[in-house]
Structure formats: structure tokens, C-alpha cells
Amino acid sequence: MKRLNRYLIIWWKLTLGTTQIAFQSRFGAVLFLLGKLLRYVFFLLFLVLLVNRAKVIAGYTFWEIVLFYATFNFLDTLPQFFFRNVYRFRQQILNGYFDNLLLKPLPSLFHPLFGGSDMLDLFVLILSAGFIIFAGWHSDHVTVLRVLLYILLLMNGFIISLGFHIFVLGTGILSTAVDNTVMLYRDLTQMGRLPIEVYQEPLRGLITFVIPVGIMMTYPGRALLGLLSWQGVVIALVFGVGLLFISLRFWSYALRHYTSASN
Amino acid sequence: MKLYLQVAKNTWDEMMSYRFNFAMWRLRNVLQLLTVYYLWLAVTPQNGHIFGYSRSLILTYVLGASLIGSIVFSTRTQEMGDNINNGELSQFLIRPFGYLGYWFARDIGDKLFNVSFALAELTIIYFILRPSIFLQPNIFAVLLTIGAICIAVVMNFFLGSLLGMIAFWSPEVWAPRFIFFTLVSFFAGGLFPLDILPVPMQRVFAFLPFGYLQYFPLQIYLGKLSSNGLIQGFCIALVWCLLLYFLVTWVWRKGLRVYSSEGN
């Protein structure tokens, strides 16, 4: 517990630092925030237009589609909020700063993952949480048990994302290719903006099990609507824990093969 | 002219030397295309219409938007802002060619590279997914589509240059570009045809430049515009082009007056 508190304090200080940097140009920060909110609202507007005309998309009603969209945004933004430093990791490898980080009395993954959160993402998180609650409110299928399952699968989605980010960091150590890998991950997860039933086979199978966008983004929503079997829940949880375990092993492997680019 | 051709060729060679990065970038484009493609496939009835589009028309629109997007939006103007901010512009000012011409030539090199890959990707996607697509039989409409794409290319170059030239007054060049990109990704018509928007919004967008970057050429190709619509569209697009040209040259002159660099 004491150690966790210590980590929390360090994370908070690092986050304060990155926030100060982000707000050095207030104009830029406001524009970035505005851009994120516009992107959110515009796609929602597009969904409104689409469902108004089509009535249902892949068997889902408007509020159900909104639930999936808001869940996607929440799970897309939460890792960005916490793991923002992954986007800076390549530079830290190239300029040798990572050597310095390895000397600190912290777990080797702490700084690459949690080295400063992006406070601008908080607004999108709050907006998404609002839409999730509102969309859930409009559904007749929601029960307490399903809400608990939803939260559990949301956490599982976050763990899968954590696993992915650790993979990206490990790849960064072995090849310095971070930027494209993390953006590829972002684009793959973008497919989860809509329920996976929208996609046809074999793409649907691919983004459910091979690249677990479906498990991450769609399973929580399906559980809340009572459309997910208990086997589905178990598979999702096993997948999440398994992926985290493998990614941690990969990180250890990458770290053993790290050759410093120190200056 | 020979000089600018060489710049375009150099850009091509430069991209060849970062093949992995480029392949990843193209893969990301394919993923974005597939998301939009399957969404429209899911909402369009097999033999029915949605928003006045049959399945073959809307899928042609989606695939066409991807190709036109590759032509119009591949640009190097984002480097212009960094160029001004880090003082590299000084080196260009003493070289025997125009700064804007140099970046336009780089844009062309970038576009040729992107388009060759986009064509290959679309061919593969076509043979895998086998969508029913609409082939425009009227050669005149195809030529007009190409003309509209050329105007869009020039317009996007001017818009990108203006965003880059913000660097004369502010080091913050990425945030305005992010806002611009967000607006363009929705209102150029890459995600959906703009005629699905409510009529008052359509009227407003008819006078803004965004729709002329992607939506307008596709409407011509799909044969959705009347003669009046065509004339009005070309007139507005050309007026925007001229306005942007004058604005870019004016901003460039004003920017050079405030520009300063040191140490290089």
C-alpha cells in the first residue's frame, strides 16, 4: 500500500509536469481540446443521421449504437490518458534518456507507461462516461449484474490495452519503431467504434480474436445489453490476463536485449 | 521546370528510403477504408437505397473517396511550419527557385507515391471483396472529375501552405492543423456523402471549400449533378482557388517581413 502511494505521488508529479508543458501554449491546448471534442461530436452526428434513416445498424437501435460508440471512446481515451508517455518513448530511446530511467528505483515499465498523463483527455473521458450512463438509461435490458459485468469487461479492455502498449514499448526497444506501431494499434481499435456485427467474416473473426478489438470494445456493451454468454465473459477475461502475461514476458525479453544508445 | 521535376523525384526517392514507415501508413489507410466500407455495407439494403444511393453507388463513393483522398490529401506542407520555426527557411530564400513551387513539387512527388500504392490497395480490396461498383460510361463526366480533382489538389496545397505559414507568427503550428484535419475528415465527404446532411447545412457547405476537396469530384463521377450544379460547383471551387492563391501570396509577403532566424 505504501509503495502504491509512492507510485501515485510520482505519477501525479510527472502528470503535473506534462500538463504544465501542454499548457505552455494555452492557445494550442484549447485548439487540441476543441479538435478532440469536435471529432467526437461530428461522428456522433453522423451516427444520428445514419440511424435516423436506417433505423437499426446490424440489429442495434440508436441508443445501443451510442452505447458502443461511447464505450469505444472511453476505452480509447483511458489508455491515452494514462499511457501518453508511450508516444514519447522512441525519443527517449534515441537520445539515451531511457538509460537514465533504468537507474531510478522504479519498475522499468513505470516511466515508459506512466511518465505523465494528458489532462486534455479527461474531458473526452467525462463526456464518454456521460453518454454511457445516458445510453444505458435508455435501455430496457440493463440490470445490476449486467452493469457489474460491464465494468469488469471495461477493466478487462483496459488490461488488453495495457498489454498492447507494453508490446509497443518492447518493440520500441528492439527496433525503435514506436510511432507507427502505436498508431497502427489506434487505427485497429478504431474499428471498435461500431459493434463488430457490422463487419463481415473473415474480418469479424480477425478483429474479435486475432486482434481483440471486439473483446476490448464491443464485449462490455454486449454484456450490458445481455447479449454476451458467460463463455464469452470467461474467454474475454482469459484473453486479457493471458495477453498481459505474454506482454510482460516480451518486455523482459526486450529489456535483456536492450543496447544503450546513450550519450 | 526541370528543377521542380527533380524535387518531385527526390521526394519519391526519399519516401522509398522509409519504406517500412510508408507501408505502415498505407496499412492504416486500408483499415480506415474498411471501417467505412463495412459500415455503409451494413446500412444499405441489398436492392434498396439509402439517402438516394443504391448499394453500388455508395460503395463506389466509399472506394472513390479513398482514392481521391490519397490524391488530394497527401501533402508535405506540414513540414513548411517546422521549416519556418527552425530557421531552415533562410537557406531556401537564397536558392534559385520559388519556395511555394518547391513545396508544390514535393507535394506532387508525395502524391504520385501515395496514389500508386492506393491504386494497388484498391485493386486488391476489389478482388477480395468483389463489391458491385458503378463505372461511369460518360467520358466527359470522367474528364470533368479529373478536372475537379486537379482543382482540389491546388486548393488543398494552398490551405496546407496557409496553415504552415502560421509559423511566421506562432510556434504553434500543429494544433491549427489538427482542427483543420478534423473538419476536413468529416466535411470533405470522405466518411459520408455531404448530401445526407440536413438541407440548411448542405447550403452552408456548398459555399465552404471542404466539399470541393473530395465530395464534389465524386458527385460528378457518379453523375449526381445537373448542368447547373456542375457550373455552380466549378465556379465556387475556382473562386476559392483564386482567393486562396491571393491569400497565400499576401500572407507569404507579410510573413517574410516578420521572419527572422539566427545561428544557421
The reported pTM is: 0.86
A27 in contact with B, Cβ within 8 Å: yes
Quick check: A201 pLDDT over 80?
A: no
For A183, the closest chain B residue by CA position comes to B28
Contact: A28, B172; criterion CB under 8 Å: yes
The domain limits of chain A are 2-256
Q: List the single range of A184-188, A253-257, B230-234 with lowest mean pLDDT.
A: A184-188
Contact: A183, B24; criterion CB under 8 Å: yes
pLDDT at A205: 80
Measured over the CA atoms of residue A43, residue A45, residue A46 and residue A47, the dihedral's sign is positive
Contact: B175, A35; criterion CB under 8 Å: yes
CA distance A210 to A252: 23
Give B114-131 pLDDT, tens digit per residue: 899 899 999 999 998 888
Give B35-61 pLDDT, tens digit per residue: 889 888 888 887 878 888 898 999 999
Quick check: A260 pLDDT over 60?
A: yes
Measured over the CA atoms of residue B165, residue B166, residue B172 and residue B177, the dihedral's sign is negative
Cβ neighbours, 10 Å, residue A200: 12
Contact: B39, A194; criterion CB under 8 Å: yes
Q: Which residue has the cell 525479453?
A: A253
Q: Are B151 and B241 in contact (CB under 8 A)?
A: yes
Give B161-186 pLDDT, tens digit per residue: 999 999 999 888 888 999 999 999 88
Which of A105-119, A178-192, B73-87, B221-235 is predicted most confidently?
A: B221-235
Contacts of B49 in chain A (CB under 8 A): none
A140 band by pLDDT with thresholds 50, 70 and 90 = confident
pLDDT (average), residues A6-25: 88
pLDDT (average), residues B206-216: 95
The alpha-carbon gap from A186 to the nearest alpha carbon of chain B, in Å, equals 9
CA distance A200 to B47: 18
Q: List the single range of A135-139, A251-255, B45-49, B52-56 with lowest mean pLDDT.
A: B45-49
pLDDT (average), residues A179-194: 82
Contact: A198, B42; criterion CB under 8 Å: yes
H helices present in A58-178, as ranges: 62-82, 89-94, 97-102, 110-114, 121-137, 144-175
A187 band by pLDDT with thresholds 50, 70 and 90 = confident
The alpha-carbon gap from B96 to the nearest alpha carbon of chain A, in Å, equals 35
Cβ neighbours, 10 Å, residue B259: 17
**Between A106 and B144, the higher pLDDT residue:** B144
Q: Which residue has the cell 511555394?
A: B100
Of the candidates A38, A46, A191, which has its C-beta nearest B31's C-beta? Answer: A191
* Separate counts of helices (H) and strands (E) for chain A: 13, 0
pLDDT at B149: 97
Contacts of A175 in chain B (CB under 8 A): none
Which of A221-225, A232-236, B197-201, B213-217 is predicted most confidently?
A: B213-217
Of the candidates B24, B41, B179, which has its C-beta nearest A180's C-beta? Answer: B24
Contact: B34, A38; criterion CB under 8 Å: no
Contacts of A46 in chain B (CB under 8 A): 186, 191-192
Percentage of the residues of chain A whose pLDDT score is greater than 90: 38
Quick check: B231 pLDDT over 90?
A: yes
**Between B141 and A90, the higher pLDDT residue:** B141
pLDDT at A261: 64
For A186, the closest chain B residue by CA position comes to B28
A161: nearest Cα among A211, A216, A204, A116 = A216
> Which residue in A183, A189, A190, A198 has the most chain B C-beta atoms within 10 A of its own C-beta, making it the best mutation to test that interface?
A198
CA distance B209 to B159: 9
Beta strands B49-50; B53-54: pairing state? antiparallel
Contacts of B186 in chain A (CB under 8 A): 39, 42-43, 46
Give A120-132 pLDDT, tens digit per residue: 889 999 999 999 9
A200 in contact with B, Cβ within 8 Å: yes
The alpha-carbon gap from A131 to the nearest alpha carbon of chain B, in Å, equals 21
What values do phi and psi take at A134, rounded to 5?
-65, -45
At A84, which helix (H) or strand (E)? none
- Which residues neighbour B162 within 8 Å (Cβ) at sequence distance 6 or greater? B244, B247, B248, B251
